[in-house]
Amino acid sequence: MVRIPPAPPTHADLRVAVVRSRFNEEVTARLASGAVAAFRAAGIPAAQIFELEVAGAIELAFAADLAIRDLGVDAVACVGAVIRGDTDHYEHVCRIAGDAIARVALDRQVPVAFGVLTCDDEAQALARAGGAAGNKGTDAARTALELALLARATRAHGRS
């Protein structure tokens, strides 16, 4: 058995993106700020952090794919907020957004972290966007970085 050790935690050479939906902007702006702060705290220079905005949660995957393809990023944190309404539209948006973001990560073989809140009301969303429940944008950025390091480590131990 070969255990893959984590790559040294050097992030300064990584290029990353935060892709944010504008829908529920008060919440998503806080999530994006948390993600950018996490990337900066990890030592990634501001010039290597790209921020993209899209209309809503369903569009996040397309923008993540663009960031990978055209900007050459090593990891993406997708952040958004879908708040339950009076119709079943919520269920469809959550499913489509989650499936599409996962597909980009698997198709591109680049970490794309799901930082999309799926909440019953705005109070729950705000609590998870820098409130009492932390900042899920920060969590998404940290997850993306962890996976980027794992990808680097596995490549280093792969076949030549």
- Residue numbers annotated as active site: 89
Closest CA to 75 of 55, 100, 57, 101: 101
Residue 136: how many other CB atoms lie within 10 Å: 27
Query: What are the CA-CA distances from residue 39 to residues 27, 58, 88, 140 (Å)?
Result: 19, 24, 35, 10
- The sign of the CA dihedral 124, 127, 130, 134 is negative
Residue at 39: amino acid letter: F
**Tokens at residue 88, please?**
């079943």
